[in-house]
Amino acid sequence: MRAQIDKRRFGPWAVITGASSGIGKEFARQIAASGVHVALVGRREPLLRTVGAECTQASGVQHRIIPLDLSEPDFLPVLADATRDLDVGLVVSNAGTGNSGEFLKLDRQLLQATLRLNTMAHLDITHHFGAKLAERRRGGLILIGSMGAEIGVPFLANDGGAKAYVHSLGEGLHYEFKPRGVYVTVVPPPLTNTAVLAKLGFDPRTMPMKPMSVEQCVSEGLNALRVNRSRIVPGRLNRFMDAFVPAFVKRTFTAKMLGKALANKPASARAQA
């Protein structure tokens, strides 16, 4: 299941953050399959090189590797310089992380670094590349959020608050950028089959709902961008739950899931979270 996007509107280059694994890696694959060159941003250079080589081999596109930690407050000049010579038509602002646990037991510096990555990085990226796309009068921005972030997420309170900012930012920019020919879509994934599940303490085999595949999540996100939808929750059942299940029910269900997952995590893993 792979989406096709118009490389004349969204090419010739795409910048994808958090591209070394999971959802970001799959965005790189599907965007490259549409004939768009990919600039891959992330902390883990060896993994980025592997993803870039796979995209070039499978789709014949060029790739560029940009090893960068977006939680650092001074990352933007480095990213701007690394992409200055590229004609960027699409940006996927995907970099982010989750640190589950009781709020008062999590280190405050960790919470602050997570907040910078999950909010300020999206702000800097959308402001910098949004100006360039508006000048071209074509292109697209995809901002990756998290399903249910607006209702408050117990044991992910800081992370959920950050993702709620991303949702509001993206949906506001959708209308601001539309007259400029720039498409903006917010994609709040549900629990998706990536390494993040293990970090949160989930076992996909015992979860009450089967995690979504990265292929479906990314395909639906790109298809929503193609028609300039402001927001898409991947998965029909997830869209129904997002729209019609009361917030307190979702909050209670999530609290029980995360609480159980945290209780099952080894003590060493809880200390590192």
Per-residue pLDDT of the chain (273 residues; tens, 9 = 90+): 788 899 999 999 999 999 999 999 999 999 999 999 999 999 999 999 999 999 999 999 999 999 999 999 999 999 999 999 999 999 999 988 778 899 999 999 999 999 999 999 999 999 999 999 999 999 999 999 999 898 888 999 999 999 999 999 999 999 999 999 999 999 999 888 777 766 776 776 667 678 889 999 999 999 999 999 999 999 999 999 888 989 889 899 888 888 887 887 654 344 333
Q: Is 246 a domain residue?
A: yes
To the nearest 10°, report the CA torsion of 100, 103, 104, 108: 80
Looking at the 3D structure of the chain, how many domains does it have?
Answer: 1
Whole-structure pTM over 0.85, yes or no? yes
Q: Is 39 a domain residue?
A: yes
Q: Is 1 a domain residue?
A: no
* Domain that residue 179 falls in: 7-272
Q: How far apart are CA 201 and CA 197, in angstroms?
A: 6
Phi-psi sector, 15: left (phi>0), alpha (psi -120 to 50), beta: beta
Q: Is 16 a domain residue?
A: yes
Q: Is 48 a domain residue?
A: yes
Q: Is 19 a domain residue?
A: yes
Q: Is the separation of the CB atoms in 99 and 114 below 8 Å? A: yes
CATH of the domain at 80: 3.40.50.720
Q: Is 148 a domain residue?
A: yes
Q: Is 242 a domain residue?
A: yes
Q: Is the separation of the CB atoms in 139 and 133 below 8 Å? A: yes
